[in-house]
Amino acid sequence: MSERAKVVGLHGGLLVLLFALQFALPAYHHGNLARIMVLASFAIGYNLLFGYTGLLSLGHALFFAAGMYGAGLSVLHFGWSPAPALIVGLAAGAAVSALLGLLALRTAGVAFMIVTLMFAQAGYLAILYFGKWTYGDEGFVIARAARMLHGVDLSDPASRYFAALALFAVSLAVCLWLVRSRFGKTLIAIRENEERTRMLGYDTFARKLGAMVISGAISAAAGAVYGLLFGYVGATFASVQYSIFPLLWVLLGGAGVVVGPFVGTLFMFYLIDLSSGVTTAYMLIAGVVLVLLTLFAPQGLTGELRRRLWPWLP
Amino acid sequence: MELGPYILLASIEGSVTAAVLALTAVGLSLVFGVMRVVNIAHGEFFMLGAVIAWFVAQALGAHPAVGFAAALIVAPLVVGAIAVAADVTILKRIDYDPERTIVATIGLLYIIQQLTLMGYGPDARPVEAPFNSRLAIPWWEWKDGALQMYWPWGLATTSYKLAVIGAAALVLLGVWAFMTHTRAGLLMRATQQDREMALAFGIPVERVYALVFGIGAGLAALAAVLIVPISQAHYLMGADPLLLSFIVVIIGGLGSLPGTVVAAILIGLSDGIVSVFFSPTLAKILATLLVALVLVFRPGGLFGTRQA
Amino acid sequence: MTLLATQGLSKHFAGLQAVRGVDLDLPRGEVRALIGPNGAGKTTLVGMICGRIAPSSGTVHFDGRDITALPAHRRINLGMAYTFQITSVFARLDAAENVALAARRRVRGEGVEAVVQEALARVGLADRAATLAGDLSYGHQRLLEIAMGLAQAPRLLILDEPTQGLAESEIAAFKSLIRDLAGGATILLIEHNMSVVMETANRVTVLNAGEVLAEGAPAEIRADKAVQAAYLGTG
Residue A301 confidence (pLDDT): 87
Task: Return the residue in B106, B120, B282 with the most chain A beta carbons within 10 A, the one to mutate for interface testing.
Answer: B106
Residue A88 included in any domain: yes
Mean pLDDT of C177-188: 86
Chain A residues near any Cβ of chain C (below 8 Å): 182, 185-186, 188-189, 192-193, 195-204
Gyration radius (Cα) of chain B, Å:
20
Instruction: Yes or no: say if B217 and B40 are a contact pair by the CB < 8 Å rule.
Output: no
CATH of domain B16-131+163-297: 1.10.3470
Instruction: Yes or no: say if C207 and C41 are a contact pair by the CB < 8 Å rule.
Output: yes
Q: What is the pLDDT of residues A226-280, one digit of tens each?
A: 999 999 999 999 998 899 899 989 988 999 999 999 999 998 899 888 887 777 7
Residue C4 included in any domain: no
**Residue A35 CB neighbour total at 10 angstroms:** 17
Identify any residues that bridge with C94 across adjacent strands, giving them in sequence order.
C132
Give yes or no: residues C99 and C127 share one domain: yes
CA distance A137 to chain B (A): 13
Q: How far apart are CA A123 and CA A237, in angstroms?
A: 11
Q: How far apart are CA A274 and CA C86, in angstroms?
A: 51
Residue C218: domain span: 30-53+69-79+154-235
Give yes or no: residues C204 and C180 share one domain: yes
CA distance C91 to chain A (A): 8
State whether residue B247 is helix, strand or coil.
Answer: helix
Give yes or no: residues C177 and C90 share one domain: no
Specify the pairing of strand B156-158 against strand B134-136.
antiparallel
Residue C64 included in any domain: no
Residue A166 included in any domain: yes
**What residue type is B69 in one-letter code?**
A
Residue C37 included in any domain: yes
| Whether B98 and A294 lie within 8 Å, measured CB to CB | no
Confidence of residue A281 (pLDDT cuts 50, 70, 90): confident
Identify any residues that bridge with C5 across adjacent strands, giving them in sequence order.
C25, C61
Instruction: Yes or no: say if B294 and B302 are a contact pair by the CB < 8 Å rule.
Output: yes
In degrees, rounded to 5, the angle at the alpha carbon of residue B45 between the alpha carbons of residues B39 and B51 is 165
| Whether A286 and B110 lie within 8 Å, measured CB to CB | yes
Residue C234 confidence (pLDDT): 46
Say if residue A147's pLDDT is above 50.
Answer: yes
Residue B127 confidence (pLDDT): 87
CA distance A279 to chain B (A): 8
Mean pLDDT of A2-25: 91
Residue A274 confidence (pLDDT): 84
Q: Which residues of A touch B118 (CB under 8 A)?
A: 279, 281, 284
Number of domains in chain C: 2
Residue A116: domain span: 3-239
Chain A / chain C CB contacts < 8 angstroms: 53
Residue B307 confidence (pLDDT): 39
Residues 6+ apart with CB under 8 A from B174: none
| CATH number for the domain harbouring residue C229 | 3.40.50.300
Residue C143 included in any domain: yes
Residue A150 confidence (pLDDT): 78
Instruction: Kindly list the domain boundaries of chain B, sorted by start residue.
Output: 16-131+163-297
Q: How far apart are CA B284 and CA A126, in angstroms?
A: 10
Q: How far apart are CA A235 and CA B107, in angstroms?
A: 22
Give yes or no: residues C158 and C148 share one domain: no
Give yes or no: residues C149 and C198 share one domain: no
Q: How far apart are CA A292 and CA A267, in angstroms?
A: 15
The conformational region for residue C32 under phi > 0 = left, psi -120 to 50 = alpha, else beta, is: beta
Give yes or no: residues C74 and C183 share one domain: yes
Q: Which of A73-82, C90-99, C181-190 has the lowest mean pLDDT?
A: C181-190
Report the residue of chain A nearest C81, measured CA to CA. Answer: A200
Taken as a whole, chain C contains a residue count of 235
Nearest residue to C209 (alpha-carbon basis) of C51, C12, C4, C48: C12
Nearest residue to C137 (alpha-carbon basis) of C165, C116, C163, C174: C165
Give yes or no: residues C162 and C146 share one domain: no
Give yes or no: residues C163 and C123 share one domain: no
Report the residue of chain A nearest C150, measured CA to CA. Answer: A200
Nearest residue to B238 (alpha-carbon basis) of B107, B58, B112: B112
| Whether A201 and C52 lie within 8 Å, measured CB to CB | no
For chain A, the three-class secondary structure string (H helix, E strand, C coil) is CCHHHHHHHHHHHHHHHHHHHHHHCCHHHHHHHHHHHHHHHHHHHHHHHHHHCCCCCCCHHHHHHHHHHHHHHHHHHHCCCHHHHHHHHHHHHHHHHHHHHHHHCCCCHHHHHHHHHHHHHHHHHHHHHCHHHHCCCCCEECCHHHHEECCEECCCHHHHHHHHHHHHHHHHHHHHHHHCCHHHHHHHHHHHCHHHHHCCCCCHHHHHHHHHHHHHHHHHHHHHHHHHHHCEECHHHHCCHHHHHHHHHHHHHCCCCCCHHHHHHHHHHHHHHHHCCCCCCCHHHHHHHHHHHHHHCCCHHHHHHHHHCCCCCC
Q: State how far the alpha carbon of A55 is from the alpha carbons of A60, A191, A211, A251, A306, in Å.
A: 12, 8, 10, 13, 21
* Predicted complex ipTM: 0.89
Give yes or no: residues C75 and C188 share one domain: yes
Report the residue of chain A nearest B301, measured CA to CA. Answer: A111
C31-35, strands of its sheet edge to edge: C80-83, C156-160, C186-190, C31-35, C203-208, C211-216
Task: Return the residue in A134, A294, A296 with the most chain B beta carbons within 10 A, the one to mutate for interface testing.
Answer: A294
Which among A46-55, B179-188, C200-209 has the top mean pLDDT? A46-55
Instruction: Yes or no: say if C50 and C72 are a contact pair by the CB < 8 Å rule.
Output: yes
Residue C62 included in any domain: no
CA distance A169 to chain B (A): 29
Residue A299 confidence (pLDDT): 85
Q: How far apart are CA A242 and CA A124, in angstroms?
A: 11
Q: How far apart are CA C63 and CA C94, in angstroms?
A: 34
Q: Which residues of A touch B99 (CB under 8 A)?
A: 56, 109-110, 113
> From first to last of its 308 residues, what are the pLDDT tens digits of chain B?
567 777 788 888 889 989 999 999 999 999 988 888 889 999 999 999 999 999 999 888 778 888 899 999 999 999 999 999 999 999 999 988 887 888 899 999 999 999 999 999 999 998 888 888 888 877 777 777 777 777 777 777 888 999 999 999 999 999 999 988 998 888 888 888 888 888 888 888 889 999 999 999 999 999 999 999 998 999 999 988 888 888 888 888 766 788 889 889 888 887 767 766 677 788 888 888 888 898 898 876 665 544 33
Residue A292 included in any domain: no
Q: Which residues of A touch C67 (CB under 8 A)?
A: none
Number of domains in chain A: 1
Q: How far apart are CA B32 and CA B140, in angstroms?
A: 46
Instruction: Yes or no: say if B263 and B252 are a contact pair by the CB < 8 Å rule.
Output: yes
Q: How far apart are CA A37 and CA A269, in angstroms?
A: 11
Q: What is the pLDDT of residues A162-186, one digit of tens each?
A: 999 999 999 999 999 999 999 999 9
C16-27, strands of its sheet edge to edge: C16-27, C2-13, C57-62, C65-66
CA distance A114 to chain B (A): 7
